[in-house]
Amino acid sequence: MDQFVINLIFVGGSFALYIGIAIWARAGSTADFYAASRGVNPVVNGAATAADWMSAASFISMAGLIAAVGYGNSTFLMGWTGGYVILALLLAPYLRKFGRFTVPDFIGDRFYSQTARLVAVISLLVMSITYVIGQMTGAAVAFSRFLEVDSTTGLFIASAVVFCYAVLGGMKGITYTQLAQYCVLIVAYTIPAVFISLQLTGNPLPQLGLFSTHTESGQPLLQTLNEVLIELGFNDYTGNHGSTFNMVLFTLSLMIGTAGLPHVIIRFFTVPKVADARTSAGWALVFIALLYTVAPAVGAMARLNIITTLYPEGIQGEPLAFDNKPDWMLNWERTGLLRFEDKNGDGLIQYYNEANPPQRAIDEGWEGNEMVLFNNDILVLANPEIANLPSWVIGLIAAGGLAAALSTAAGLLLAISSAVSHDLIKSIINPGISEKGELLAARISMAFAIALATYLGLNPPGFAAQVVALAFGLAAASLFPAIMMGIFSKKMNSTGAITGMIVGLGSTVLYIFTYLGWFFIPGTNMLPNTPDNWLFGISPLSFGAVGAALNFIAAFIVMKISAPVPVEIEELVESIRVPKGAGDAVAH
């Protein structure tokens, strides 16, 4: 059967499943739309949370970034998983006990201020819209290859599918859709990794295969990869070749950004009791680990496979001829995400580090690296083709990549629509709106958010994981400190919290805008995005941790010189943290 037909079967079948679930679980009330009426089983919620959290950045982009850099990009793994532990242990149970629908709902009530609620809504919208662009970027990459359409068409198809099941189902429909999407994405990610680990090391477990003996060379896999990279003039794979300072800041930014993600936090509002929030958090961590422990192996093995393909006779042998490129290269060249250029006209593909060319490149007069474009987002999706796996595996990973992108996109869009309809319209603009009117407003705002995300997805500022990292930085600088202070500081008042959020969000947005030049005006660049221009050498992707520190500092300074917290709010905060009666959380 033709590969395109197989792709259509897997992708079309998964989409039909998602939309069918949305129709079956259609939200009939605001409680259904915002929190699935707080009736989701903890294990189901754990799987849905894992799917919601493991976005296109995790499935499509993370292994590609690890493959490109090696140890240095393990920060994505450390930051995201560490942040989830913080969220599960320190925030989720207390927020569930508070009994609200959204993060701005918590901030507005805890800090007894509509202004605080409004600032939280603005922070949520900026972060979530940035985040959802990464999902649309990932979906476009997957569609462009497996359905053989251009990336623009892929974006429109993804938007239409998300519109059908997210707008119809709300949180109730999204929860069960994400359960199905988790099953699809974890199977799709794991099966190719098992096959490739068997091929390269004879070990069926990729986690162990990464540290096993490479069958062909007879030495450890990572040692083999290090040697071939060094011979081509690249840095070794297992060393740290970047700024340790930035590495620490970036990891911290991802960690606290994860803990402040509103679309993940609201998942813990869907379970019946506080104890269930803890249980579902534990299950989610298990489900997440199934993919995250495999990703480093996928990155390393794919990088070795690509080099082996480009040098079929070994590093010192004749490189691959342009006329002999395998089908997977030809397929991805058509998408515009992979490109080669015969710079010296010899018909062979020279792949090496131009900045540090090996002696052979100098002796033989090579004109430069002739793989002139390799979009990191294609690596996981191309991996089955690179390893010559069966056609059904390629179709499966197509469905998995799209499931990862669309599951997180749906969660983000729900967070956006809830912030607009519940926290902005219901709580501030029109408190007397009917439940039917609020539900309609939620669906209209979600549709508008989908349209905006699609438009911005046409001109993303980087790879999926890089765009997502920006969103995490924004969450770290704005929402995380406010949530932490709201739970653990009885003395933090509304003026301090509002000031902190404005300072954290404003400083981070300004820094990103200044050094990436994209955030508000696509295609612009105010300053070159190079370490020489960064303030104290801090990368824009790492600034979220600095923004969070500024948030905390500003909040506590202003708290000291402004009116104290009302007594009833201090009692409310105390009641959140005391276990007694935890199962009797009052729904809002």
pLDDT on residue 527: 45
Segment (H or E) for 372 = strand 371-374
The span from the CA of 367 to the CA of 355, in Å, is: 12
pLDDT at 446 over 50: yes
pLDDT on residue 462: 52
Average pLDDT over every residue of 551-570: 95
353 located within any domain? no
Q: What share of the chain is helix, strand, coil (3-state, %, to 5)?
A: 70, 0, 25
C-alpha distance across the termini of the chain, in Å: 54
pLDDT at 27 over 60: no
Average pLDDT over every residue of 148-157: 78
Amino acid at residue number 27? A
The span from the CA of 162 to the CA of 154, in Å, is: 12
Contacts of 120 (CB under 8 A, 6+ apart): 103, 104, 107, 108, 423, 478, 479, 482, 501
The span from the CA of 422 to the CA of 438, in Å, is: 7
Average pLDDT over every residue of 545-563: 96
Among the listed residues 302, 383, 306, 375, the one whose alpha carbon sits nearest the alpha carbon of residue 339: 375
Average pLDDT over every residue of 431-445: 83
DSSP letter at 239 equals S
- 3-class secondary-structure state, position 214: coil
Contact in structure between 65 and 376 (CB atoms under 8 Å)? yes
pLDDT on residue 172: 62
Confidence of residue 517 (pLDDT cuts 50, 70, 90): low
530: left (phi over 0), alpha (psi -120 to 50) or beta: beta
94 located within any domain? yes
pLDDT at 582 over 50: no
Q: Which residues pair with 348 in a beta bridge?
A: 321
pLDDT on residue 352: 93
Among the listed residues 558, 551, 572, the one whose alpha carbon sits nearest the alpha carbon of residue 106: 572
Among the listed residues 181, 168, 190, 160, the one whose alpha carbon sits nearest the alpha carbon of residue 49: 181
pLDDT at 491 over 50: yes
420 located within any domain? yes
352 located within any domain? no
The span from the CA of 48 to the CA of 284, in Å, is: 8
Q: Looking up tokens 């276990």, which residue turns up?
A: 579
- 3-class secondary-structure state, position 322: helix
pLDDT at 588 over 50: no
pLDDT tens for 89-115 read: 788 788 888 877 678 888 999 999 999
Contact in structure between 210 and 297 (CB atoms under 8 Å)? yes
pLDDT on residue 584: 46
Segment (H or E) for 87 = none
- Residue range of the domain that includes 209: 3-301+388-468
348 located within any domain? no
pLDDT on residue 30: 59
Average pLDDT over every residue of 139-166: 75
- 3-class secondary-structure state, position 346: coil
316 located within any domain? no
Residue 234 phi/psi, 5-degree rounding, is -90, 165
- 3-class secondary-structure state, position 26: coil
DSSP letter at 267 equals G
Q: For residue 223, what is the domain's CATH number?
A: 1.10.4160.10
pLDDT at 64 over 60: yes
Average pLDDT over every residue of 556-579: 88
Confidence of residue 541 (pLDDT cuts 50, 70, 90): confident
pLDDT at 286 over 50: yes
Contact in structure between 406 and 59 (CB atoms under 8 Å)? no
pLDDT tens for 362-417 read: 988 899 999 998 888 788 888 888 888 888 888 888 788 777 777 777 777 777 88
pTM for this model (two decimals): 0.80
Tokens of 229: 């990279």
Compute the mean pLDDT over every residue in the chain, rounded to the nearest whole number.
Answer: 82
203 located within any domain? yes
Distances 22 to 4, 170, 365, 408 between C-alpha atoms, Å: 27, 8, 60, 15
Confidence of residue 520 (pLDDT cuts 50, 70, 90): very low
pLDDT tens for 219-261 read: 999 999 999 999 999 999 998 877 788 888 989 998 998 888 8
Which of 25-34, 465-474, 507-516, 553-562 has the lowest average pLDDT?
Answer: 25-34
Confidence of residue 37 (pLDDT cuts 50, 70, 90): low
The span from the CA of 402 to the CA of 266, in Å, is: 22
- Distance, C-alpha 515 to centroid of its chain: 22
356 located within any domain? no
pLDDT on residue 167: 65
pLDDT on residue 406: 73
Contact in structure between 218 and 443 (CB atoms under 8 Å)? no
What is the tally of structural domains in the chain? 1
pLDDT at 289 over 60: yes
